[in-house]
C-alpha cells in the first residue's frame, strides 16, 4: 500500500498522507470489548502475537478488517485514530519538532504496517501508520469508520499542528468557543474535523479525545442500535439527534471507551437538540 504526499490525487489503492487509515481500541478489558462489538456490529476476530508489538486482536466485518483491539496499560479505555504516513519515523520526528511527544515507539505490526502513537499540542493521542502492502481497511459501511473528530480545548494549537504536519486545508464554522468547528481537507476531500470544547461543559477531569463515528445499518437505524447497545452494557452519553452527516448518538462501551454511531442515510440540513448533552463526562 503506497502513501502519497498531500496535494497529490491518490491513484486507486493508494492513500494520501494524513488520511485516516486505521482505528484501534485500547481497552481495560479486551474480552468484554470483543463481546460487545461482536454483538453490536457483527465483528469477528483474529488474535495475533508479535514479540515486538505484543498481542493485538484484529476485528473483521464481512471478511474485511475494520479495527484492532489492544489491552490498555493504564486505567482508561479509548479509541485511537491512525493517520497515514509515507514514513512513520520521519513523520514522527517532524511531529516532535512541532511539539508532540511519543507515547508508543515506532514498531512493525505484521499485516498492518509500521506505526507509532504520539500526543500532539492539543493533548490528544493520535497514531501514525505506514501500511503494509497487504493492508486493508474497510470504511464507510455499517460497523466501520464513517467519520472522526478531534475534540479539544486547544483548537488553534490543533489546527496549526496538523496543518503543518499534513498540509490540511481547513474550513471554519462558528466562533467564540461555542460552535467552533473546523473541517480538514486533503486533495479536495473532507477527511477529518476539529471540535473546540464548549467551556461550560469542561470539568477538571475532561480529557481531549478523538470521537470516532461507526456506521449503523439503515434497516435498524440509530434508535434501534442504541437500544441494543444499552442491552449489551453500553451507556448513552448523547441521545440520538439529527445532523448534516446523519442521525447520530454518542455512546460508551462497557469498558468506558467513547464512540459515536451514525446513520448517514438520515442526513439533514439542520441539527436537532439531543435530549441529553453530556459530551465530555468521564
Average pLDDT over residues 195-212: 80
Nearest-CA neighbor of 253 among 220, 221, 212? 212
Quote the mean pLDDT of the chain.
88
pLDDT in tens, 247-271: 999 999 999 999 999 999 998 876 6
Write down the pLDDT at residue 257.
96
More confident residue, 280 or 153: 153
226 — pLDDT class (breaks 50, 70, 90): very high
d(CA 26, CA 20): 17
Per-residue pLDDT at 8 exceeds 60? no
Write down the pLDDT at residue 177.
41
Cα angle for residues 266, 269, 270 (degrees, 5° grid): 95
pLDDT in tens, 61-90: 999 999 999 999 888 999 999 999 999 999
Can you give the three-state secondary structure of 141-177, one letter per residue?
CECCEEEEEEEECCHHHHHHHHHHHHCCEEEEECCCC
For the record, the C-alpha cell of 115 comes out as 506505526
Nearest-CA neighbor of 80 among 41, 50, 46, 119? 119
Write down the pLDDT at residue 90.
97
Interstrand relation of 20-27 and 78-84 (parallel, antiparallel or unpaired): antiparallel
CB contact at 8 A, 145 and 214: yes
Residue with cell 493521542: 125
Write down the pLDDT at residue 249.
95
Write down the pLDDT at residue 55.
80
DSSP 3-state assignment of 266?
helix
Average pLDDT over residues 139-162: 94
CB contact at 8 A, 74 and 255: no
176 — pLDDT class (breaks 50, 70, 90): very low
Per-residue pLDDT at 183 exceeds 80? yes
Cα angle for residues 161, 69, 222 (degrees, 5° grid): 85
For the chain, list the domains and their CATH numbers: 3-131 (3.10.180.10), 145-266 (3.10.180.10)
- What is the spatial order of strands in the sheet that 20-27 belongs to? 44-50, 54-61, 64-71, 20-27, 78-84, 125-131, 113-119, 101-109
Farthest-apart Cα atoms in the chain, separation:
50
Kindly give, in sequence order, each residue whose CB lies less than 8 Å from that of residue 257, ignoring residues fewer than 6 positions away: 25, 26, 27, 33, 77, 78, 79
Average pLDDT over residues 34-57: 88
Half-sphere exposure of 49 (CA within 13 A, CB side): 0
Kindly give, in sequence order, each residue whose CB lies less than 8 Å from that of residue 163, ignoring residues fewer than 6 positions away: 169, 170, 184
Average pLDDT over residues 162-171: 94
Angle in degrees, 0-180, between the axes of helices 88-97 and 155-166, rounded to the nearest 10: 140
Range of lowest pLDDT (15-24, 47-56, 221-230): 47-56
Amino acid at each position: 500500500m503506497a502513501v502519497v504526499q498531500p496535494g497529490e490525487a491518490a491513484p486507486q489503492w493508494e492513500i494520501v498522507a494524513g488520511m485516516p487509515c486505521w482505528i484501534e481500541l485500547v481497552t481495560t478489558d479486551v474480552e468484554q470489548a470483543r463481546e460487545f462489538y461482536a454483538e453490536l456490529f457483527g465483528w469477528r476476530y483474529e488474535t495475533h502475537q508479535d514479540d515486538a508489538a505484543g498481542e493485538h486482536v484484529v476485528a473483521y466485518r464481512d471478511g474485511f478488517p475494520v479495527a484492532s483491539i489492544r489491552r490498555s496499560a493504564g486505567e482508561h479505555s479509548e479509541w485511537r485514530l491512525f493517520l497515514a504516513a509515507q514514513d512513520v519515523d520521519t513523520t514522527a520526528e517532524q511531529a516532535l519538532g512541532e511539539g508532540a511527544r511519543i507515547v508508543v515507539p515506532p514498531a512493525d505490526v505484521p499485516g498492518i504496517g509500521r506505526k507509532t502513537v504520539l500526543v500532539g499540542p492539543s493533548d490528544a493521542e493520535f497514531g501514525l501508520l505506514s501500511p503494509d502492502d497487504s493492508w486493508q481497511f474497510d470504511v464507510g459501511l455499517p460497523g466501520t469508520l464513517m467519520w472522526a473528530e478531534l475534540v479539544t480545548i486547544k483548537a488553534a494549537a490543533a489546527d496549526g499542528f496538523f496543518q503543518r504536519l499534513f498540509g490540511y486545508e481547513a474550513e471554519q464554522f462558528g466562533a467564540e468557543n461555542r460552535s467552533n468547528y473546523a473541517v480538514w481537507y486533503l486533495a479536495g476531500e473532507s477527511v477529518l474535523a476539529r471540535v473546540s470544547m464548549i467551556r461550560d461543559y469542561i470539568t477538571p477531569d475532561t480529557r481531549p479525545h478523538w470521537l470516532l463515528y461507526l456506521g449503523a445499518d439503515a434497516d435498524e437505524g440509530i434508535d434501534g442500535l442504541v437500544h441494543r447497545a444499552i442491552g449489551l452494557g453500553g451507556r448513552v452519553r448523547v441521545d440520538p439527534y439529527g445532523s448534516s452527516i446523519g442521525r447520530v448518538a454518542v455512546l460508551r462501551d462497557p469498558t468506558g471507551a467513547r464512540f459515536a454511531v451514525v446513520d448517514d442515510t438520515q442526513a439533514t440540513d439542520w441539527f436537532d437538540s439531543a435530549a441529553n448533552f453530556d459530551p465530555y463526562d468521564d
